[in-house]
Structure 1
């Protein structure tokens, strides 16, 4: 355990050193970025403010239908796979199942070497399980820029894996600034935010209803603008937690049975995530204050919607703040026994499902 922690800390120090070196080489660029951001802020209304980072050096490409298709950052074109949807590999041998691994502390109690994880999507710091328990990720979802700023060491480990990363243009902008596009080896799928689309004005709920039909998105009858995207190319609702965005990604990819790991959301402000070493290393969390008005109703409405569409979701966090009436709870040990009785190979003996290495900038 000491060696593992030491390796993680060393990786973080290395990335921070790279950040410092990059920043020290481009003070003019940093000053220019700040100038254009402030200029944008004071010349645009609040409905446009979410675009202030795109005021200079960023070009967003959209197709004829208005969907994100590409992105240029300071002259470098990010190679995106949006036009290749659907991205689903051959799923018949996986039973159309996928595991969504979040970062709640309950993850520490799971022995992943006893599980057969044929397809896995991780969010934020879940990548730490690769080193700790040998978990391999096929997909990844990052929509939280705060995570990129706070833990570039973990983000770098994500982007160097042969997986498909679903991320917003703003997240990718921060990755470029914090780490550098030249280090990316993953596939990239640009994900728009339905409520704050990149490079565009934030739409009103009425406009969403008028623009998209029921095949594209579901808007929930709630006091807040809550919804669930049925067309990943149009974007996602963040639901104030990256796990909710990840759920929309997997639904769009066509999986019919989903297992949620680490979706705890209990006293998140004071409880370290599974990969954090204590209160001193904790990234701030806003799950507690957003749970009642945004997170819980989003998942509750999504549960009913997914059930109608034939998607079965099981929550492996037995003490999750999401009640069993939203998603049935299931102990991970039962899942391990199910795999064992079916004769599946444990995780540590399973060969890696290759997705290829893709150079993501030009």
Structure 2
């Protein structure tokens, strides 16, 4: 039946709506005046989602963002002050014995498919607020509904909104130039940073870029990051082995997309008096973008 619905949807909508085909007709949404999805029903049931407007500027101070580069293995997290909230992405969950997560971001559907053990663990934690897309929520409800204990925050790729047409890179500027909270790079009309996630989040090939936009919106004024190596893509992530390693598609995007996007994020953050510290001294991201300090040195200050 699902395949039939996809075919009906595909042949009754323009190609620019194709990203919605697996959601229709199971997903019904209502949007708030501020643009975000405020009410969600999936397969006939109401789904509790956090009000994004209530999250705006709800936090302050320092937050730790844990990426998953190999350098994570060398960090002594016992030095991390317990008062600092922690956001995890993807497989960072394997640090859960060393840090306590309160925020989490997973937007990679391949990760949902290939690491269901991590998904089950994350969503079973009632202390976590998980930011994910509608496609991620659908996978959770279809596969792990009985395990769901965390809170869900429904976020959208600004160029692939639910039941709205895809926005191609060439049309990104024209579509969002009048949105004050969409901050475009001065030299690249295909690179943008959202300071209000209710209007969507802009992708740059890495979940870390999503996380930065979320943390900005939440109101933190200092973001310290571990595991943001952006190098050695042939090596397993800190929680993987050579046999269990999922493919990485970052290497082909680093120079043209990832680095310019991080540079733009740094500019936006600086203008808004938000400090970013990269705690991976060997990171390929230059110090001119994110200031680099060793973890031990930073927390011994």
Structure with higher helix content:
1
Taking a change above 3 Å as real, the CA distance of residues 320 and 224 of structure 1, as seen in their structure-2 partners, is farther
* 1:89 CA displacement: 5.3
Counterparts of 2:207 and 2:52, CA distance in 1: 23
Contact map agreement 1:62 1:69 (CA 8 A) in 2: yes
Picking from 289, 293, 300, the partner of 1:330 is 293
| From 6, 28, 33, the counterpart of 1:59 | 28
| Equivalent of 2:175 in 196, 208, 213 | 208
Task: Structure 2: give runs of 5+ residues left out of the alignment.
Answer: none
Q: Give 1:143 shift.
A: 1.2
Alignment of 1:16-165 (within 5 A): 32-83=1-52, 85-86=54-55, 91=60, 96-117=61-82, 118-131=84-97, 133=98, 135-161=99-125, 162-165=127-130
Matched, 1:195 2:159: yes
**Residues 312 and 83 from structure 1, CA distance in 2 versus in 1: closer, same or farther, beyond 3 angstroms?**
closer
Rg larger in structure = 1
Deviation (angstroms), 1:298: 0.6
TM-score scaled by length of structure 2: 0.92
* TM-score normalised to structure 1 length: 0.77
Cα deviation for residue 42 of structure 1 reads 4.1
Tell me by how many angstroms 1:174 deviates: 1.8
| Structure 1: tracts of 5 or more residues without a match | 1-31, 339-362
Deviations 1:114-167 (A, max 9, x none): 221421111111111113x2x101111111111111101101111111111111
Aligned 1:301-320 pairs, distance under 5 A:
301-320=264-283
What does 1:163-242 align with in structure 2 at a 5 Å threshold?
Answer: 163-180=128-145, 182-203=146-167, 204-213=171-180, 216-223=181-188, 225-242=190-207
Number of residue pairs aligned between Structure 1 and Structure 2:
296
Deviations 1:28-63 (A, max 9, x none): xxxx22232243334433321111211231112211
Query: RMSD of the alignment, in Å?
Result: 1.8
The question of 1:279 aligning with 2:242 is answered: yes
